[in-house]
């Protein structure tokens, strides 16, 4: 099994501030999971007993609302860590984490994380920074969901998806989502999302290639996301 000390992924997240000894400890205690597309890594309401570090693959973080609809709160990919919020607040997991494609994930036991937070001030601060940043993002999202019409939210979401997942060699946003998942991201009915996407294609703003989306006119999308 590969070792944390040599793992390239850690350069991109809070684990970069770990000492060599801490990395060795993590490496000794970690387990590696293979999550297949559609499977859950974490489930809303469950207790969690460690931190997940995504090596590769893509996932969605969702919340089930009381009316049974799924809301996608955030997308994740290699380098992201999951579970820190729940570990720190000692609350159950607040979101479902589901694989959008096969994922490799390392699991580090809770006690190692807690110990390291106490010992390593820089690590502690990095984790705080991540959560603080996520809180800011979530607040922004609340405002957007509450104030922006569906069309603007879709435009915003397409830009965000390209930023998160980048583009493939055809220029398409490098993630495959169903229309339903797009609808659940912007908080609208699937049919509404389909119609708006069709309109964007008709207007030459995007193209729909196989299961992926190609942004043709990003500045048009940007304007649209701001209500112009």
Partner DNA sequence: AAAAATAAATGATATTTATCATTTTCATAA
Partner DNA sequence: TTATGAAAATGATAAATATCATTTATTTTT
According to DSSP, the β-strands at 96-99 and 81-82 are: unpaired
Q: Residues 130, 150, 216, 220: which binds DNA (CB under 7 A)?
A: 150
151 part of the interface to DNA, by CB under 7 A: yes
Closest contact distance (angstroms) between CB of 136 and DNA is: 24
The total number of residues shown for the chain amounts to: 228
Partner that binds at residue 21, options a copy of itself, DNA, none, CB closer than 5 to 8 Å by kind: none
**Residue closer to DNA, measured from CB, 16 or 195:** 195
Could you give the dihedral angle defined by the CA atoms of residues 107, 110, 114 and 115, in that order, rounded to the nearest 10 degrees? Answer: -80
- Count of alpha carbons within 13 angstroms of residue 174, beta-carbon side: 13
Q: Residues 21, 47, 115, 145: which binds a copy of itself (CB under 8 A)?
A: 145
Closest contact distance (angstroms) between CB of 6 and a copy of itself is: 29
Element (H, E) at 82: strand 81-82
Residue 27, C-beta contacts closer than 8 angstroms, at least 6 positions apart: 3, 4, 5
The whole-angstrom separation of Cα 61 and Cα 217 is: 28
Q: Residues 29, 63, 151, 218: which binds a copy of itself (CB under 8 A)?
A: 63
Between residue 197 and residue 216, which ones bind DNA under the rule CB under 7 A? Answer: 197-198, 208, 210-211
195 part of the interface to DNA, by CB under 7 A: yes
């Amino acid at each position: 099994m590969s070792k944390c000390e040599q793992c390239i992924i850690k350069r991109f997240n809070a684990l970069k501030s770990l000492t060599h000894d801490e990395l060795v400890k993590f490496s000794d205690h970690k387990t590696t999971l293979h999550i297949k597309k559609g499977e859950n890594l974490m489930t809303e309401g469950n207790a969690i007993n460690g931190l997940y570090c995504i090596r590769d693959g893509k996932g969605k973080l969702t919340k089930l609302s009381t009316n049974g609809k799924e809301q996608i709160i955030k997308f994740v990919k290699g380098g992201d860590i999951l579970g820190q919020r729940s570990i720190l607040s000692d609350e159950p997991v607040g979101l479902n984490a589901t694989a959008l494609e096969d994922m490799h994930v390392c699991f580090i036991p809770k006690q190692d994380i807690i110990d390291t937070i106490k010992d390593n001030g820089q690590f502690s601060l990095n984790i705080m920074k991540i959560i603080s940043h996520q809180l800011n993002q979530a607040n922004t999202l609340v405002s957007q969901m509450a104030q922006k019409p569906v069309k603007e939210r879709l435009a915003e979401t397409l830009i965000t998806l390209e930023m998160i997942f980048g583009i493939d060699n055809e220029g398409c946003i490098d993630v495959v989502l169903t229309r339903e998942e797009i609808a659940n991201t912007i908080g609208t009915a699937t049919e509404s999302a389909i119609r708006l996407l069709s309109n964007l294609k008709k207007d030459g703003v995007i193209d729909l290639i196989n299961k992926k989306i190609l942004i043709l006119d990003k500045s048009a999308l940007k304007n649209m996301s701001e209500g112009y």
